[in-house]
Amino acid sequence: MDTILLWSAWIVTAILLLIFINRKNLMQAILSFLFMQVPSWLFGALVVEGGLIEYPVGILQMAYKASFTFEFFILPAVSAIFNVYFPKQKSWLIKTIYTLSFPTVITIVEVILETHTELIKYIHWTWYLSYITLTITLLISYWFYLWFFKKIKEKYQ
């Protein structure tokens, strides 16, 4: 069952990318996706090697002990959607709600998976550490996104 959930996550994430990312914002999405793989991999490797989280079932378990699915596909895809649709022109309240909604949903799903599957096991970890690291990495990705496209705009205008 866990393997089916894992592959279902790949399919659902791919569908979400197809729905939310169009040609107009493809370059921004690709940049966000690729950038997020770096902090995601780093945090994932640190928590697994530090003995804080374990992933008993996963893809590429022999080569990579952390969650390949989450760190190299799901979180980068979420970051792409997050960055492309960030409500830049809205109030700070809307921006805050938007920013906090993404890690909230991911953390809720993670806690459900941790409780009911073998996809993730907290050893010396808690849901609020996931929430904090997700929020920080999404914000880092968004700040990079803003910086990068500001530099591109300055160079070509």
Where residue 121 falls (left for φ over 0; alpha for ψ -120 to 50; beta otherwise) is: beta
Residues 57 and 60: their CA atoms lie apart, in Å, by: 9
pLDDT tens digits along 93-140: 999 999 999 999 999 999 999 999 999 999 999 999 999 999 999 999
| Claim: this prediction has a pTM higher than 0.75 | yes
pLDDT tens digits along 52-107: 999 888 777 666 678 889 999 999 999 999 999 999 999 999 999 999 999 999 99
